[in-house]
Amino acid sequence: MPAIVILGAQWGDEGKGKATDQLATTDTIDYVVRTSGGHNAGHTIVVNGEKYATHLLPSGILTPGATSVIANGVVVSPEALFRELDGLIERGVDVADLVVSANAHVIASYHSTIDKVSERFLGKNQIGTTGRGIGPAYADKVNRVGIRVADLFDEGILRQKVEAALDLRNHLLTKVYNRRAVEVEAIVAELTSYAERLRPMVADTSLLLNQALDRGETVLFEGAQATMLDVDHGTYPFVTSSNPVAGGVCVGAGVGPTRIDRVIGVIKAYTTRVGSGPFPTELFDADGEALQRIGGEIGVSTGRTRRCGWYDAVIARYSARVNGLTEFFLTKLDVLDSFERIPVCVGYEVDGQRVDEMPMTQTEFHHATPVYEYFDGWKSDISGCRSFGELPANAQTYVKALEEMSGAKFWGIGVGPGREQTIVVHG
Ligand code: GDP
Ligand code: IMO
Ligand code: MG
């Protein structure tokens, strides 16, 4: 029984929630695990026409029988966690099986304050973060002044840690950003108010997951964010502050790389991006507007309109490489139903030179213009297709061409947001 990784192969919002749900309904999944990021994620699952959005929780929380795990690599806002849990409980979802790592770092209110003021400070250079405090919480972690979940259960230790964390932060807030200092006691009170409800959920999740794998159970690691938002491998500095790539899963869960059996990259049949940063195939014309409208490309977490462009095979190949993908899950093919002609970026031109791989430097990537190959559209509704053979010939040609140029086989194809709207190609 395998350990499976599902991750984003582009700039996020590829349909990781749907892919996770798809796997959880076709295979028996014992654990669904988040290993990085926080409530900056927004994953949509549509079950029997009912729409659910998960942020900090893995979408596996909707899978009966699976245990949901928030592992050590995640940054946890207790406020966001309980808000999300309460929202699901209200809708009748059983959320009893949730385990949170004692080592996960905590997002407190000052992290989102700092996230917002530092974005404002950056002016036109801002990243376009979700404002959820993700970057400041990871910065504290690396700076060794972070607060971990386990610290919430010992008020004396918590107070010491909050003091250490706020010491430098308050200098910054008052002297650089011209804001009021944050009170230590207010933060201690804020965080201890969640301790009692959190305590029964907390465990050593690395031990839990490794023991599950030893017993032959199936563990699904549900990625958040995406390869091109990775702090090491993405379009730095226009990235998130964690490692959403496959390697980050091992660090974020305390599971060794030798235990991972499959790595599935979720990729849209076109490309979107929220926030700032380079995006070679971005469209500023009627086609871009059509992708945005037909694809419903509005952020689940922040409600921001997503930038849209054509499929970029250079990015697909790069994702296949840095993640060691065993397969892709292609989503939103149905969004292309009405297009006459569909361009696909097969390479770039950078300062007069043709390149087929991701350029080495950010400057070159900023200069990259797409080299397109054109495919004929299929001009029909594919949302009811349930096998590859049912797809119109032009759609089959498009998918086969993408598969050939992207560096890994296509395990499945999404033809609509619903749980049943999936074609499994390589079962
Ligand atoms: P995630 O963050 O990667 O989980 O993706 P999001 O949930 O942010 O965005 C993906 C959006 O596309 C959601 O609204 C999904 O319901 C929707 N979606 C996923 N797969 C498909 C598909 O194959 N076709 C269509 N039309 N929508 C899809
Ligand atoms: P899912 O899991 C799309 C983007 C933000 C911003 C940058 C940094 O739903 O795919 P952050 O708040 O993380 O410091 O913001 O990363 N971003 C996402 N974009 N989908 C996401 O998550 C994202 N999470 C962060 O828009 O550009
Ligand atoms: Mg999303």
Q: Is 61 in the pocket of ligand 1 (CB under 6 A)?
A: no
For residue 35, the domain's CATH number is 3.90.170.10
Q: How far is CA 134 from CA 109, 116, 215, in A?
A: 11, 11, 34
**What is the pTM (predicted TM-score) of this model?**
0.97
Structural contact between residues 275 and 128, judged by C-beta atoms closer than 8 angstroms:
yes
Which ligand number lies closest to the CA of residue 269?
Answer: 1
pLDDT at 1: 61
Q: What are phi and psi of 138, to 5 degrees?
A: -65, -35
Distance 18 CA to ligand 1 centre (A): 6
3-state secondary structure of 104: coil
pLDDT at 297: 97
Q: Is 265 in the pocket of ligand 1 (CB under 6 A)?
A: no
pLDDT at 427: 63
pLDDT tens, residue order, the chain (427 aa): 699 999 999 999 999 999 998 888 777 899 999 999 999 999 999 988 899 999 999 998 998 889 999 999 999 999 999 999 999 999 999 998 999 999 999 999 999 999 999 999 999 999 999 999 999 999 999 999 999 999 999 999 999 999 999 998 999 999 999 999 999 999 999 999 999 999 999 999 999 999 999 999 999 999 999 999 999 999 999 999 999 999 999 999 999 999 999 999 999 999 999 999 999 999 999 999 999 999 999 988 888 999 999 999 999 999 999 999 999 999 999 999 999 999 999 999 999 999 999 999 999 999 999 999 999 999 999 999 999 999 999 999 999 999 999 999 999 999 999 988 999 997 6
229 and 110, same structural domain? no
188 and 251, same structural domain? no
> Residue 386 belongs to what domain range?
3-96+204-424
351 and 399, same structural domain? yes
pLDDT at 48: 85
From 139, 169, 199, the end of a domain falls on: 199
264 and 139, same structural domain? no
- Residues annotated as catalytic (active site), given as ranges: 13, 43
162 and 111, same structural domain? yes
| Cα–Cα dist 313/398, whole Å | 12
Protein residue with least CA distance to atom 6, ligand 1? 13
Protein residue with least CA distance to atom 28, ligand 1? 417
Structural contact between residues 270 and 289, judged by C-beta atoms closer than 8 angstroms:
no
127 and 83, same structural domain? no
From 176, 199, 222, the end of a domain falls on: 199
194 and 62, same structural domain? no
255 and 174, same structural domain? no
369 and 270, same structural domain? yes
69 and 83, same structural domain? yes
Mutate to test the pocket of ligand 2, among 40, 119, 235 (most ligand atoms within 8 A of CB): 40
Sorted by sequence, the CB contacts under 8 Å of residue 96 that are 6+ apart come out as none
pLDDT at 250: 98
From 164, 199, 234, the end of a domain falls on: 199
Mutate to test the pocket of ligand 1, among 57, 332, 383 (most ligand atoms within 8 A of CB): 332
Q: How many domains would you assign to the chain?
A: 2
61 and 112, same structural domain? no
121 and 213, same structural domain? no
Atom of ligand 2 nearest to the CA of 242: 13
Atom of ligand 2 nearest to the CA of 277: 27
| Cα–Cα dist 51/45, whole Å | 6
For residue 109, the domain's CATH number is 1.10.300.10
Q: Is 417 in the pocket of ligand 1 (CB under 6 A)?
A: yes
Sign of CA dihedral 385, 387, 393, 394: positive
Q: Is 7 in the pocket of ligand 1 (CB under 6 A)?
A: no
Question: Which residues are paired to 101 by β-bridges?
Answer: 203
Q: What are phi and psi of 140, to 5 degrees?
A: -65, -40
Distance 228 CA to ligand 3 centre (A): 14
**How large is the C-alpha radius of gyration of the chain?**
22
Q: Is 332 in the pocket of ligand 1 (CB under 6 A)?
A: yes
pLDDT at 55: 97
